[in-house]
Chains A and B, each alone.
Chain A
Amino acid sequence: MRPPAALRVYFLRHVQVALNSLGRLYRAPLASLMTAAVIGIALALPSGLYILTDNLQRLGSQWDGGANLSLFLRHDVSIEQAEALREKLAQWPEIERLRLITPQEALAEFRQLSGFGDTLDILDENPLPAVLALKPAAEATRPEAAAALKQRLQALPQVELAQLDLQWVKRFNALVDIVQRAIWILSALLALAVLLITGNTIRLEIQNRREEIEITKLIGATGAFIRRPFLYSGLWYGFGGALLAALLLALAFVQLNAPVRELAGLYESSFRLHLLEPGQWLLLLLCGALLGLVGAWIAVSRHLATIEPG
């Protein structure tokens, strides 16, 4: 179905005004670029920090020592029973990896690490219990989930003590949490800055075109007609700023990618820097354009009404 003629004309006029506004910015390239660059930096900063914490979190979940659980078995549990328990626990979906350390193995390890060597021979009985060392599956590494898993394991009759080595994960997650909160606050402040920048730029534009606004009002222009070019200017500033922000992020990525690969290689890690998903790029452009539009809207509603022909 073809849209009705009036709607087509309306749409066409919007396209025309949008292109005119863009052309006006293009004719003052330096001033336009400066405004867009300031907006771009303001948008790139929180986006870049977000990407940084996102990568830290990916790195954290890749870390083998993520969250580890040690199950110390009772002394009266035999090797066979311990082996049976290991096989049973291996079926649990919350558990990714599981290793049985027999008392002999534990003693050998202790002997080697402690250097007590011969002294241990004096003992006629091995005092060390069998231990099941397990690593929770990825979903169960968050502190609450890991604690719940520990509770279930502690309740098993064969288990003397379940010990959760959580400190590192807890600290890491808490740190990321704080940083992410800080990024939200920073984002809000910088969004405000973008509003102020576009608002001020549009205010100056309104002042420069005061005569034109008066004359068009004189000839019967509606408020919407006069507002439209300024709103599109704001939209373009925001969109252009977001494009520049994307460019800055990509440049930073290129600068950091090679050294990070090299470092990961040294640790035999497959870790790779991760930029943004396609949807997130789109969101960045959308946010930029929207902030520009809102900034222009604020300037327009505050300053256009005061211009009346007389």
Chain B
Amino acid sequence: MIRFDNISKRYPEGRDALQGVSFHLPAGAMAFLTGHSGAGKSTLLKLIALLERATRGQLFLDGENLTRTGKRKVPLVRRKIGMIFQNYRLLFDRTVFDNVALPLVIAGHRHQDIARRVRAALDKVGLLDKERALPITLSGGEQQRVGIARAVVNKPPLLLADEPTGNLDPELSRDIMRLFEEFNRVGVTVLIASHDLDLIARMGHPQLRLHQGRLLNPEVLAPPQ
């Protein structure tokens, strides 16, 4: 699903955020991305969603070489990815329903189709009764679940989450992580950046450990030779 081939990323002003990172996350797998603050976790996820471009190396998503993807093709790549953010990034002047519907509206789905899929996604995250609510009236955990519903509503093959439990209490964090496992069980590839080490350790999925832009354990998800 995702293959990093000796990827390096240097921001215009600053040192290398990633250096020679190589790994392969097979389709249907679930993995965590860990490391200290500033290790390069967010940068790695942004490269996959083409929010940043690699300085060196090759990056493949679903067989497509993303280092060669032109500007006009970027939206199509992003539609294959469900992104979840630590700060939710919801539209606060739209209802929960409209927020979750956004990826479907962008992709040009039919009206009836949209209503059905949005309700299914909201049902999965347990917010079916909040579809008319504005995000501002929801708790942090509920907002995060709206973000997750939005990420999965168009059934993307890949879910990327950047510290999805950063602001949540332990119990809520566990619920959210279980939700990700559920999606993974039905075939979605999942990659989650997190520094909730205790929680991650208990779940037992492979971990990519970053330290100052380098992968500490390249053997865990080594690319096939």
Contact = CB atoms under 8 A, between A and B. Distances in A.
Interface of A: 9-10, 13, 211-212, 214-223, 225, 309-310
A219 B106 contact: yes
B51 interface: yes
A220 B106 contact: yes
A219 B150 contact: yes
Interface string B80-119: 0101000001110000000000110011101000000000
A309 B51 contact: yes
Given A220-B79, A310-B51, 13 more contacts: A9-B110, A10-B108, A216-B106, A218-B51, A219-B78, A219-B102, A219-B103, A220-B75, A220-B77, A220-B103, A220-B106, A221-B75, A225-B106
A212 B107 CA distance: 17
What are the 10 A-B residue pairs with the smallest beta carbon separation, nearest first?
A: A220-B78, A220-B79, A220-B75, A222-B75, A221-B106, A219-B103, A215-B89, A212-B91, A225-B106, A219-B102
Contacts of B186: none
B197 interface: no
A205 to B, nearest CB: 13
29 contacts: A9-B108, A10-B108, A13-B108, A211-B91, A212-B91, A215-B89, A215-B102, A216-B102, A218-B49, A218-B51, A218-B78, A218-B83, A219-B78, A219-B79, A219-B83, A219-B106, A219-B150, A220-B75, A220-B78, A220-B103, A220-B106, A220-B107, A221-B75, A221-B106, A222-B72, A225-B106, A309-B51, A310-B46, A310-B51
Contacts of B76: 220
What DSSP secondary structure best describes chain B's contact surface? helix
Contacts of B108: 9-10, 13
Interface residues of B, number: 22
B45 to A, nearest CB: 12
Contacts of B81: 220
Interface string B28-53: 00000000000000000010010110
A219 B81 CA distance: 8
A214 B78 CA distance: 13
Contacts of A211: 91
Most buried by A among B75, B77, B150: B75
Nearest to A215: B89
Contacts of B52: 310
A222 B52 CA distance: 17
B79 to A, nearest CB: 4
Contacts of B83: 218-219
A264 to B, nearest CB: 58
A102 B29 CA distance: 115
A309 B46 CA distance: 10
Interface string B139-164: 00000000000100000000000000
